[in-house]
Structure 1
Amino acid sequence: MARLKTIWQLSALAALAATTATIAVNQAPVTEPGKSDVIASVLPVETRPVEYQHGYEVQRVFSGRVQARRESLLGFDAGGRLASVQVLEGDRVQQGALLATLDTARLAARRAELAAAQAEAEARLALASATLKRLRGVLESGGVSRQELDEAREGRRAAVAALDLARQRVATIDVELEKSRLFAPFDGTVVERMVDEGRVLATGEPVLHLQESAIPEIRIGVAGDAVKLLQTGRVYALRHGQTTLEARLRTVLPRRAARTRTVDALFDLVGEYREFEHLRPGDSVNLYLALAIDEPGYWLPLAALTEGERGLWNLYVAEPAGGPSPVIGATHRVGRRTVALLHHEADRVFVRGALQAGTPIIASGLQRVVPGQWITTADSLVAAGEHR
């Protein structure tokens, strides 16, 4: 009897617990399927409309170098033994400064010999002149014949010619002596010394490399049709490392290099010499030119492209649903377009393909979507939130 009573009490407690749970469930707040819950289950994507462009600009970079306006490999007009070099590499010299000399011992001896011959010719001329003068004085008295007078006259003329020849020979030696000294043809810096004292030089063999101390010029090789964009007299901004240089285009040379197929453009730097002392001949300088390409298409973010077939590329567009979608809350469907890549930059590309101005493309997160997938755009999601 006690056992039956206990069973009855347990059954009553179980029934009471079930009733309490049912009441609690029925009294709990029921959340109706609102738009926010449905939209949250649809993948939102970021889109942006494309804009039609009639063409695009390509920035071309052309490299050149700094070069001295004048630089020369200096040598002697005549060969000989190098006696002295007055300068070292790095020395700055002024125009007319003595740089080097040749051994002139032989020339000095030869000049002394010719100077003696000149003195002898002068003495012969003096004697011939005196003889002619005396003969003219006694011609009227009949002391000399006309023939003797003619001989004296021609003898004097021969003495004059001999003296002229002697003087010319001395002058020639003086020129050779002058050529035995090497002078700076312009203000500059000795950048290289090729030989030292004691060497026997051939005619014209370089001794020193002299580079002019003046504002350098810029030589840049421009390829293709970009030459047509250059305007003589215009000031261009050139890049030297992290520095911008202003340079005026002086001329474009009327020939194209056979090896590089470029045309050299020469620029004059705008400013004072002290502003460009940091430049060294051989430094690299770049010229940037914007080339207009007449090819219609669209600019897209680089992240909007995926690789396609046969060298083409794909992008995804958000196509309007056009009616009720099978997925509640979806406003668009993913479509695929194939485009050709015409030009690319760091973070954007210019393409040509079956697009229209204003078409919303999926700009990022392409790995999350596939063609045919139902989606909602970020703009639609915001609009839905505002509607609530």
Structure 2
Amino acid sequence: MPSLRPLQRPRTGLFLCALSAALLLAACSRPAPAPEPLRAVKLMTVGESALQAEREFAAEVRARVETRLGFRVAGKLVQRPVELGQRVQAGQLLAQLDAQDYALGVQAAQAQLAAATTQRDLAQADYQRFEQLKAQNFISSAELDRRRAALQSAQAQLDQARAQASNQGNQQGYTRLLADAAGVVTAIEAEPGQVLAAGTPVLRLAQDGPRDAVFSVPEDLVGQLRTGQAVAVRPWAGGAPLAATVRDIAASADPVTRTFTVKAALPTTGAALPPLGATVYARPAALAAQQGVQGAQALRLPTSALFAQGQQTAVWVFDPASASVQPQTIDVAQVDGNEVVLASGLQAGQQVVVTGVHVLAPGQKVSIYEPKHAPAQSGQAQAAIEKVAQPATQK
């Protein structure tokens, strides 16, 4: 009877090949993705609170008169002895142009003036001689009239030369930019070495004197303001509030922000005024309280709970049943500091995520963050600490 052992060897080889292929495929396959971490979030229960209708606007303290100063002639800026924030006095030198060409022009004008003066003197001497000859009837009246006309022409040329010399002197003086009044330099707009055209601003000077608190008001509220109304001004850095009055209201809206600029005159005596450029808060009396709004109940949320979902604003609402979060679009009525007042989208009692909103996904499982406190010490541990703390008694 023949043996079957040689027939089993091919089967064993096939089995080993299949096993090797399976192991190779298992090694090349991608590992399973790691489970998404369970994030801890801080929640806030939405509730109604009284809405304060007192409106406050951020304002900036500015000088009543702030002038952009520039040269009346063109030239190269060679000197600017003042710097940003420096206080200057009336008549102080602010900037200097290269005056060499203007000095040459003055010399040329003075030479023309001297020549015109000589011509006038010569014409005047001729006229006086011919006038004497006419008195003796040695010349005709027509000849005397020609000498008189020559004298008048020479006098006109002298007047013209004198005016040109004065103009050239003024042009040379315009190369020095002087302060019109005492004040503070609030902006620098040109540097030495720059070639300037006539009228190009070099610096901005805020003159000493009355100051204004300047702020912007939206177009739905500007109609309630009138000149002369009271405005309470509160310095941002602290201090006593100031009583101001509305001095000017812009007639047209800003083309970019679509708001209206309002200037409130600050008091000139009494309390210390904030420095130029300081931030203050203005509360117009006409907008302090409105009928049907003061004390009304409204839903508020911190701005940290908001995120953008397309073109809308949304928040993450926590579902206690599934321990997950879902996005919910909302409508914001207004912004009040670091909070927003909701117009719609949420109801009182709902729980909203207030931190880490940009790392969440719809339906993601989350856990409620709980602050960690130090565990209370056991009675035996506390007794041991007190025993060690007591000083040893002498035997």
**How high is the TM-score relative to the length of structure 1?**
0.57
CA-to-partner distance for each residue in 1:57-76, whole Å, 9 max, x for gaps?
72333333222222233221
Alpha-carbon distance in structure 1 between the residues aligned to 2:95 and 2:298: 67
SS of structure 2 residue aligned to 1:143 = coil
Q: What amino acid is aligned across from residue 168 of structure 2 in structure 1? A: I
Cα deviation, residue 120, structure 1: 1.6
Work out whether residues 68 and 217 of structure 1, in 8 Å CA contact, stay in contact via their aligned partners in 2. yes
Q: What amino acid is aligned across from residue 281 of structure 1 in structure 2? A: G
Structure number with larger C-alpha Rg: 1
Instruction: Name 1:265's counterpart in structure 2.
Output: 262
Alpha-carbon distance in structure 2 between the residues aligned to 1:125 and 1:300: 91
Cα deviation, residue 160, structure 1: 0.7
CA-to-partner distance for each residue in 1:350-375, whole Å, 9 max, x for gaps?
x9xxxxxxxxxxxx9xxxxxxxxxxx
SS of structure 2 residue aligned to 1:73 = strand
Cα deviation, residue 144, structure 1: 1.8
2:205 is the alignment partner of 1:210:
yes
Work out whether residues 214 and 273 of structure 1, in 8 Å CA contact, stay in contact via their aligned partners in 2. no
Instruction: Name 1:281's counterpart in structure 2.
Output: 277
CA-to-partner distance for each residue in 1:128-172, whole Å, 9 max, x for gaps?
111111112122433223332222111111111111111111011
Q: What amino acid is aligned across from residue 280 of structure 1 in structure 2? A: L
CA-to-partner distance for each residue in 1:295-341, whole Å, 9 max, x for gaps?
89986999xxxxxxxxxxxxxxxxxxxxxxxxxxxxxxxxxxxxxxx
C-alpha change, 1:222 and 1:136, in structure 2 (3 Å) is same
Cα deviation, residue 263, structure 1: 2.8
C-alpha change, 1:273 and 1:165, in structure 2 (3 Å) is farther
Work out whether residues 120 and 158 of structure 2, in 8 Å CA contact, stay in contact via their aligned partners in 1. yes
Identity across matched positions, percent: 29
C-alpha change, 1:298 and 1:95, in structure 2 (3 Å) is closer
2:165 is the alignment partner of 1:170:
yes
C-alpha change, 1:257 and 1:190, in structure 2 (3 Å) is closer
Q: What amino acid is aligned across from residue 172 of structure 1 in structure 2? A: N
CA-to-partner distance for each residue in 1:241-277, whole Å, 9 max, x for gaps?
244332122233333334433333221112438701x
C-alpha change, 1:177 and 1:188, in structure 2 (3 Å) is same
C-alpha change, 1:255 and 1:201, in structure 2 (3 Å) is closer
Alpha-carbon distance in structure 2 between the residues aligned to 1:128 and 1:226: 76
Mark the runs of 5 or more structure 1 residues left unpaired by the alignment.
Answer: 1-54, 303-341, 352-363, 365-388
C-alpha change, 1:212 and 1:176, in structure 2 (3 Å) is same
Cα deviation, residue 198, structure 1: 3.7
> 1:1-388 residue pairs with structure 2 within 5 A?
58-241=53-236, 242-243=238-239, 244-272=241-269, 275-276=272-273, 278-281=274-277, 283-287=279-283, 289-294=287-292
Alpha-carbon distance in structure 1 between the residues aligned to 2:76 and 2:254: 40
Q: What amino acid is aligned across from residue 243 of structure 2 in structure 1? A: E
Work out whether residues 93 and 187 of structure 1, in 8 Å CA contact, stay in contact via their aligned partners in 2. yes
C-alpha change, 1:131 and 1:212, in structure 2 (3 Å) is same
Alpha-carbon distance in structure 2 between the residues aligned to 1:285 and 1:297: 22
Alpha-carbon distance in structure 1 between the residues aligned to 2:55 and 2:92: 46
**How high is the TM-score relative to the length of structure 2?**
0.56
Work out whether residues 87 and 183 of structure 2, in 8 Å CA contact, stay in contact via their aligned partners in 1. yes
SS of structure 2 residue aligned to 1:117 = helix
C-alpha change, 1:159 and 1:231, in structure 2 (3 Å) is closer
Alpha-carbon distance in structure 2 between the residues aligned to 1:344 and 1:256: 21
Cα deviation, residue 82, structure 1: 2.2
The root-mean-square deviation of aligned C-alpha atoms, in Å, is 3.9
The structure with more strand, counted as a fraction of residues: 1
Which has the higher mean CA deviation after the structures are superposed, 120-129 or 241-250? 241-250
C-alpha change, 1:122 and 1:238, in structure 2 (3 Å) is same
Alpha-carbon distance in structure 2 between the residues aligned to 1:344 and 1:104: 56
C-alpha change, 1:121 and 1:344, in structure 2 (3 Å) is closer
Which has the higher mean CA deviation after the structures are superposed, 167-176 or 84-93? 84-93
Alpha-carbon distance in structure 2 between the residues aligned to 1:177 and 1:344: 57
Cα deviation, residue 287, structure 1: 2.1
Alpha-carbon distance in structure 2 between the residues aligned to 1:150 and 1:104: 45
Task: After the TM superposition, list the runs of 4 or more consecutive aligned residues in structure 1 that deviate by more than 4 angstroms.
Answer: 295-302, 342-346
SS of structure 1 residue aligned to 2:94 = strand
Q: What amino acid is aligned across from residue 179 of structure 1 in structure 2? A: Y
CA-to-partner distance for each residue in 1:6-50, whole Å, 9 max, x for gaps?
xxxxxxxxxxxxxxxxxxxxxxxxxxxxxxxxxxxxxxxxxxxxx
C-alpha change, 1:297 and 1:110, in structure 2 (3 Å) is closer
